[in-house]
């Protein structure tokens, strides 16, 4: 397993280009299965999760070619519908491939994606949705088999606005007979991106970004070219890196409207924020102020930014209260932050953070993607050297993180 070695204390200054969104790319790559044609995708981040998803498409019989951030997927000759277990286990979000495969081939077999370090992450809402579409779903010994004669549009009420379940049901309904209406749908921007790409391909979907998504089944789809939206969590991560180091940075290729709750909290902490159509500027204060945060489904404060923001609050003046309302086990990284001197107590969904003057560099281990990112952010501001281990978790979701941070003046190397 590799590590980042970070010498803390440098203010981050300058400009950084944000990559395409990991969480928009994954369902959009899956959608390329539906058109049995050619799909050209631009601004796809070159990260472990997109690499794995493209590997799976190749195993299913798609032809995939990559030229820097441009991906060409030819799904005309796709002839398999079963996702290998070892790849399913590497990345639970491959479950959205199921909706696209069953949407086109009317059958699929996947292994149960299982949980990860932030919670059990069940997929009951996905499978209930499939059943409402007339898909037979059989769960046995860790496998899920889906099959049907045809997919019939229906109304589907989600008990929780699950991002993955909303995406999976949209993918399975594109070629269905009749109309599907998803109520209590997730409203994340990544779902709007998926709708826009599918409609460009010839699907008939409306309402993404609201809590009611309507999919009218169509018979044919066509080849499509699409540019992935910017990654709002990578953008939030760099803003927090600028804030914690007392820096002054500018983010290019971003959509500020996707980051509203994060920008408001950074301003509450004392940062100066300026936004235009596709850039965000941040100037940090000498000392950040404590703020309270509750993670919520979009447009609330995103759970993916919780750990990263906690690293900032751990060295802010005052006490912050965090409530994690989305995942039941998303504070594991706090034990590692405590090794760097953080004063954090966790009780169930709530974390209480008493700001300290400064982190001390230490040897710490990433526990998951965003928890690992939090440790990097802490290391940038720490006194002395921090070694962040198990960075494979971080490489899943951040493209060239060390290079981008170095360009802003951070002292970070890959070991």
Binding site for ligand EPZ (CB under 6 A): 22-23, 26, 93, 119, 121-126, 160, 162-165, 186, 303-304, 326-327, 369-370, 397
Pick 194 or 290: Cβ nearer ligand EPZ: 194
Q: How far is the CB of 26 from ligand EPZ (least distance, A)?
A: 5
Question: Which residue has 């290998």 as its token pair?
Answer: 84
Residue least distant from ligand EPZ (Cβ) = 164
Nearer to ligand EPZ (CB atom), residue 31 or residue 284: 31
- CA–CA separation, 236 and 240 (whole Å): 6
Pairing verdict, β 279-283 and 248-252: antiparallel
Instruction: Compute the least distance from the CB of residue 287 to ligand EPZ, in Å.
Output: 29
Minimum distance of ligand EPZ from residue 276's CB (angstroms): 26
What is the side-by-side order of every strand in the sheet holding 363-365? 363-365, 385-389, 4-7, 411-414
116 is catalytic: yes
Q: Which residue, 160 or 222, is less far from ligand EPZ as judged by CB?
A: 160
| Least spacing, CB of residue 75 vs ligand EPZ, in Å | 20
Residue nearer to ligand EPZ on the CB measure, 250 or 404: 404
Q: Alpha-carbon distance 404 to 126, whole Å?
A: 36
Strands 70-74, 136-140: pairing is unpaired
The DSSP letter of residue 289 is B
Min dist. Cβ of residue 273 to ligand EPZ (A) = 23
Measured in whole angstroms, the distance separating CA 371 from the mean position of its chain's CA atoms is: 13
CB 141 within 8 A of CB 165: no
Residue closest to 376 by CA, chosen among 1, 63, 7: 7
Name, in order, each residue with C-beta under 8 angstroms of 303's C-beta and a sequence gap of 6 or more.
295, 324, 325, 326, 327, 330
Angle, in degrees to the nearest 10, between helices 48-59 and 22-31: 10
Tell the smallest beta-carbon distance from residue 120 to ligand EPZ (Å): 6
Shortest distance, position 384 Cβ to ligand EPZ, whole Å: 29
* Residue count (the chain): 415
Question: Which of the residues 62, 116, 148, 271 is marked catalytic?
Answer: 116
Nearer to ligand EPZ, 324 or 402 (CB): 324
E strand spans, 238-384: 248-252, 272-275, 279-283, 293-294, 319-323, 343-347, 350-354, 363-365
State which residue, 126 or 250, has the beta carbon closest to ligand EPZ: 126
Nearer to ligand EPZ, 164 or 379 (CB): 164
Evaluate whether 408 touches 14 at the Cβ level (below 8 Å). yes
Tell me if 94 sits within 8 A of 113, measured CB to CB. yes
Active-site positions?
116
């Amino acid at each position: 397993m590799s590590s980042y070695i970070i010498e803390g204390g440098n203010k981050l200054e300058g400009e950084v280009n944000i990559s395409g969104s990991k969480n928009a790319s994954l369902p959009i790559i899956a959608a390329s299965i539906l058109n049995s044609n050619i799909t050209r995708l631009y601004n796809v981040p070159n990260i472990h999760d997109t690499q794995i998803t493209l590997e799976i498409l190749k195993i299913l019989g798609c032809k995939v070619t990559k030229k820097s951030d441009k991906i060409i997927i030819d799904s005309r000759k796709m002839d398999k519908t079963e996702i290998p277990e070892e790849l399913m286990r590497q990345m639970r979000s491959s479950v959205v491939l199921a909706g696209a495969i069953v949407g086109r081939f009317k059958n699929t077999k996947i292994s149960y994606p299982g949980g990860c370090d932030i919670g059990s992450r069940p997929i009951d809402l996905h499978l209930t949705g499939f059943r409402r579409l007339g898909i037979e779903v059989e769960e046995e010994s860790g496998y899920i088999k889906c099959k049907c004669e045809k997919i019939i549009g229906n109304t589907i009420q989600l008990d929780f606005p699950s991002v993955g379940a909303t995406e999976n049901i949209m993918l399975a309904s594109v070629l269905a007979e009749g109309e599907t209406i998803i109520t209590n749908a997730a409203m994340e921007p990544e779902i709007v991106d998926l709708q826009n790409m599918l409609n460009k391909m010839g699907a008939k979907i409306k309402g993404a970004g609201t809590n009611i998504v309507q999919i009218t089944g169509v018979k044919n789809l066509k080849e499509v070219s699409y540019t992935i939206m910017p990654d709002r969590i990578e953008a939030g991560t760099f803003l927090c890196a600028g804030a914690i180091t007392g820096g002054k940075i500018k983010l290019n290729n971003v959509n500020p409207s996707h980051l509203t709750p994060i920008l408001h909290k950074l301003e509450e902490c004392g940062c100066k924020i300026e936004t235009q159509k596709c850039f965000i500027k941040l100037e940090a204060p000498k000392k950040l102020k404590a703020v309270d945060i509750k993670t919520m489904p979009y447009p609330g404060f995103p759970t993916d930014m919780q750990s990263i923001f906690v690293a900032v609050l751990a060295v802010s003046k005052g006490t912050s209260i965090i409530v994690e309302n989305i995942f039941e086990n998303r504070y594991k990284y706090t034990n590692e932050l405590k090794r760097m001197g953080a004063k954090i107590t966790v009780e169930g969904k709530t974390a209480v953070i008493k700001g300290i003057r400064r982190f001390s560099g230490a040897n710490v281990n990433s526990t998951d993607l965003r928890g690992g990112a939090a440790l990097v952010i802490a290391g940038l501001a720490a006194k002395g050297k921090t070694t962040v281990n198990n960075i494979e978790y971080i490489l899943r979701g951040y493209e060239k993180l060390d290079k981008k941070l170095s360009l802003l003046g951070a002292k970070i190397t890959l070991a």
